[in-house]
Amino acid sequence: MAINGKNNNQRKVVVLNPKGGSGKTTVASNLAAFFAWQGSSTALMDCDPQGSSLHWLSNRSEDLPRISGIAANKLNLQATRSWQLSAPPGTDHVVVDTPAAIRAHRLIEFTRGADAILIPVGPSDTDIHAATVFISDLLLVAKEDRRAGRLGVVANRVRERTVAYRKLMRFLDSLVIPLVGVLRDSQNYLHAAAEGKGIHEFKPYRVRKDLDQWEPLVRWLETRAVGIAPIERPPVQVERSMGCIGRPTATPVPSPVPGPVARMTTAPLRTVQPNDVVESDSAGNGTTAILRSTGS
């Protein structure tokens, strides 16, 4: 799924999770709207046969900043596939909304050439189980090197102070890749989908909490050199208390690499527990995934 004609200044962000219903389209459409809102020439590539991102784009008013749509989910017999997947000339950012049920051996088709890869994960037990399998495939089959810093997990549609939320946070804490954002289960995203808008295009007083939750994600993308102009608002920090993520605060904090909410660049050694799932890379390239069971 390489984007042809990519120039040196063009940035590609892939939203990826083979689990259906994980919120890929919500993250992809809001990210594309954010780039356009900042004045960037933006394209949204829809690889999902359901065409949800292109449907969102069809709801978009002409008064809003323009976003080009790339229908990678359709086969055009009158054009070459490479031309069909090309972003318009002068495009600064391409956001890729990937399909569900991608087989492990095809993951590299979507990750190749990406500057950042966002993995939305929902709070249900099914979402957590699917994410465990997918991240193992991403590291071990697609040979994605987490040390490159391209991977970031987004906890999506979460409800604080629930058992499912705490379980999701324990699972995400066990990963060897950074948690870069926590997005709540908000009606604002439903309104945005119906109007073809992004959260950043609403009146700030209507979506203040959602805007605060996007800031750690935006700052992480800045560290990936994705070409985002700084937002003139106080920085926020995602705080942790008793294994949960607290509310953003207005306390200025430094931004370490790979990101302000990254917790690991190298997984620490620990004793394998009975409920652990351990996958080793037989190719011997040093990549090992240890995903801690959340059942204990």
Residue 23 Rama label (left phi>0; alpha psi -120 to 50; beta): left
Sign of CA dihedral 167, 173, 176, 180: positive
What is the pLDDT at residue 176?
81
What is the pLDDT at residue 79?
66
What is the pLDDT at residue 285?
44
Position 112, amino acid: R
Position 288, amino acid: T
In order of their start, the domains of the chain are: 11-267 (3.40.50.300)
Q: For residues 102 and 249, give the distance between their C-alpha atoms in angstroms, rounded to a whole number.
A: 38
Would you say 111 and 148 are in contact if contact means Cβ atoms under 8 Å apart? no
Identify whether 49 is preceded by a cis peptide bond (ω within 30 of 0): no
- Of 56, 30, 68, 64, the C-alpha closest to 188 is 30
Helix (H), strand (E) at residue 107: helix 107-111
Per-residue pLDDT of the chain (296 residues; tens, 9 = 90+): 554 445 568 899 999 999 999 999 999 999 999 999 999 999 999 999 999 999 999 999 999 999 999 999 877 766 666 767 889 999 999 999 999 999 999 999 999 999 999 999 999 999 999 999 999 999 999 999 988 999 999 999 999 889 999 999 999 888 888 999 999 999 999 999 999 999 999 999 999 999 999 999 999 999 886 766 555 544 444 433 323 333 333 334 344 444 433 333 333 434 444 454 444 444 444 444 444 444 44
What is the pLDDT at residue 75?
74
